[in-house]
Amino acid sequence: MAGEHTDMKRVISTQDAPEAVGAYSQATTNGNILFTAGQIPMTPDGDLLDDEDITVQTRQSLENVKGILEEEGLTMQNVLKVTVFMDDIEDFDEMNDSYKEYFQDNPPARSAVEVANLPKGVGVEIEAIASTE
């Protein structure tokens, strides 16, 4: 039947990424595809790295993405699409250098954009869409 849904939405929760700082889940999946929330440079213990340079902030954001994927038995190789939000596009090269550490071969599609402000005053926020297969 058209519009029939066979896979239910499921919320993913892990201690390997920071708790949500607002009304959202760390990630959701329907069993085929997984969406992470935008990950900011906050450690799983809740330490905010907003004063660190973009290299460090990018690494922590991606460590959080990685932690969420690992909760589901996935790796960064499962990632299909990434969106990187920065509060200053001049940070692009620095962000990209750290980013490359996580996606060496066949990197996912990506959009990288400057936005006016990010939650908690951080410099970067990164979200990912991954295949669960």
Report the C-alpha gap between 52 and 43 in whole angstroms.
12
Least spacing, CB of residue 37 vs ligand C=C(N)C(=O)O, in Å: 4
C-alpha torsion sign, points 9, 10, 16, 19: positive
Q: Could you say which residues in the range 15-54 bind ligand C=C(N)C(=O)O, by CB under 6 A?
A: 21-22, 24, 37-38, 40
Count of residues of this chain found to bind ligand C=C(N)C(=O)O when the rule CB under 6 A is applied = 7
Determine the distance from the C-alpha atom of residue 9 to the mean position of all C-alpha atoms in its chain, rounded to a whole number: 19
Report the C-alpha gap between 124 and 115 in whole angstroms.
9
By Cβ distance, which residue is nearest to ligand C=C(N)C(=O)O? 38
Binding site for ligand C=C(N)C(=O)O (CB under 6 A): 21-22, 24, 37-38, 40, 119
